[in-house]
Amino acid sequence: MARDLRGFLKLLEERGQLRRIKALVDPDLEIAEISNRMLQCGGPGLLFENVKGSPYPVAVNLLGTEQRVCLSMNMETPQELEELGKKLGMLQQPKPPKKISQAIDFGKVLFDVVKAKPGRNFFPPCQQVVIEGNDIDLNLIPMIRPYPKDAGKIITLGLVITKDCETGTPNVGVYRLQLQSKNTMTVHWLSVRGGARHLRKAAEKGKKLEIAIALGVDPLIIMAAATPIPVDLSEWLFAGLYGGSGVQLAKCKTVDLEVPADSEFVLEGTITPGEMLPDGPFGDHMGYYGGVEDSPLIRFQCITHRQDPIYLTTFSGRPPKEEAMMAIALNRIYTPILRQQVSEIVDFFLPMEALSYKAAIISIDKAYPGQARRAALAFWSALPQFTYTKFVIVVDKEINIRDPRQVVWAISSKVDPSRDVFILPDTPFDTLDFASQKIGLGGRMGIDATTKIPPETNHEWGEPLESDVDVAERVTKRWAEYGLTDVNLTEVDPNKFGYEIR
């Protein structure tokens, strides 16, 4: 696959996963409404070729299914993502090899790191057109406004690139930006993020913070930038590991930063510490409008772009959204790393309906009493991204944690609320979560839905119902004889069981 946005669009089109829309559409509300309907039904990616007020097409919903997220990472199945997670786990906590095979495996990972080193492109496509000074007009970029009460137009899938003024170490993040004028935008980032730390350091030195926004990049690089795994590697190296070869970078025209050479647009500017403007409200991933916050103001002095550039965007909101699909893929990558941190965990799942981080279901190979509670507590502290997980449900390894019917059965048949539910009060909480009494502080709940063993219970547990092995085998062999081969036993329609899923 070509390592740029255009190559990915071509791949999706070849797979029948892209629709070109030639009708005139409005970036104000209309594009998001169309895209949202596609997301709800797992529909194709969209390329709007005729956008009101802009000469540039808009691509959206490219990562709207788990399959397309896998394709963006040069993979065909979600299971392959776990192999990538094993590589990252070996880099995060390398262990001395005990066998020749382990040494060979680790050597392969180190070779992958060497291949992943970024390269330099001295004639980058992203600088085919250069616009500076008074000629800059951000209004020509077809930024969308997703919801009626949103404060304005936004950029959502831009790589926001800054650099530590002391060490020179770059940070690549994906933050929301709000259009403020023809040459200014505000950036919304949490105080713990890399860009915010760089701004604080620049303020201490009395310097402006240089910043670059790369738009329309290879979705694989977006996945790398969105991966909050605590490994001491740059996002560029992550992207190289994900893709199997190094990202080609280009030096910006007016700031001392590097961007992906095949970006569709690059916005170059500076932030003066202390210069702020109100940002928001906007619809967020919780499914509500967020608040208004004073946020750093970026003043842009240069825009570069490819010939006939394509604008890539997305938007947040109640799942399913593209961010939820990305989280499902990241869930697979985390799994081997989490197993390395908490050895008893067999598998774990962050359901999209729980905003991909509010509730976790983990399965364990239970060996001793109290192990489910220990696993839940270990999960909360295993990786930083699980800090805001409100609910942890622990089940036996035999339960398919990705089948909600099995999980609900486990909770209903194995849980005594007075014994198996425990609550941790007053823990750090997501400030976007309105359910808590105090913003930023709330409780967590653990649910032990495993089979109980003494002394967790003082009575015999019921014997689970299972088919007779010989009869089951005979039925399988005679299935064609019954005339039932046309019945597909592997596809289940939940609406036939009382659900209403549309």
pLDDT at 250: 96
> Is residue 105 annotated as a catalytic residue, yes or no?
no
Placement of tokens 């906590």 in the chain: 93
Select which of 218, 279, 284, 430 is catalytic: 284
For tokens 């790589």, what's the residue?
159
Can you name the residues that pair with 209 across neighbouring β-strands?
Answer: 271
Q: For residue 372, which of 351, 346, 400 has the smallest C-alpha distance?
A: 346
Structure-token pair, residue 143: 């930024």
For residue 472, the tally of other CB atoms under 10 A from its CB is 11
- pLDDT tens-digit map of 165-220: 998 889 999 999 999 999 999 999 988 788 999 999 999 999 999 999 999 999 99
DSSP state of 211: E
pLDDT on residue 243: 77
pLDDT at residue 1 in the model: 41
Mean pLDDT confidence for 453-472: 90
Q: What are phi and psi of 465, to 5 degrees?
A: -80, 130
pLDDT digits (tens, 9 = 90+) for 105-114: 656 665 566 6
* Rounded Cα–Cα distance for residues 304 and 131 (Å): 6
Q: Count of CB atoms within 10 A of residue 356's CB?
A: 22
Interacting residues of 462 by C-beta distance below 8 A, sequence separation 6+: none
**pLDDT band at residue 104 under the 50/70/90 scheme:** low
Highest mean pLDDT among 150-154, 230-234, 325-329: 150-154
Query: Does residue 144 register a pLDDT over 90?
Result: yes
* Residue in 394, 371, 357 with CA at minimum distance from that of residue 455: 371
**Confidence bin at 476 (pLDDT 50/70/90):** very high
pLDDT at 436 over 90: no
% of the chain residues with pLDDT over 70: 93
pTM of the entire predicted model: 0.86
How many other CB atoms sit within 10 Å of the CB of residue 377?
Answer: 16
Under 8 Å between Cβ of 445 and 421: yes
Average pLDDT over residues 119-148: 95
Residue 17 has pLDDT above 50, yes or no: yes
Task: Summarize pLDDT for 392-420 with one digit per residue, the tens.
Answer: 999 999 999 999 999 999 999 999 999 99
pLDDT tens-digit map of 371-384? 999 999 999 988 77
Q: Are strands 258-260 and 129-132 parallel, antiparallel or unpaired?
A: unpaired
d(CA 348, CA 402): 9
The full 3-state SS of 429-493, as one line of letters, equals CCCCCCCCCECCEEEEEEEEECCCCCCCCCCCCCCCCCCCHHHHHHHHHCCCCCCCCCCCCCCCC
Cβ atoms of 260 and 160 closer than 8 Å: no
Question: pLDDT category, 332, cuts 50, 70, 90?
Answer: confident
- On average, the pLDDT of the chain sits at 89
- Give the model's confidence band at 369: pLDDT under 50 very low, under 70 low, under 90 confident, else very high: very high
> What per-residue confidence (pLDDT) applies to 237?
80
The closest alpha carbon to 46, from 311, 281, 370, 223, belongs to 311
| pLDDT score recorded for residue 120 | 85
Take residue 134 and report the two structure tokens written for it.
């008074």
* Nearest residue to 39 (alpha-carbon basis) of 57, 62, 14: 62
Count of CB atoms situated within 10 Å of the CB of 224: 25
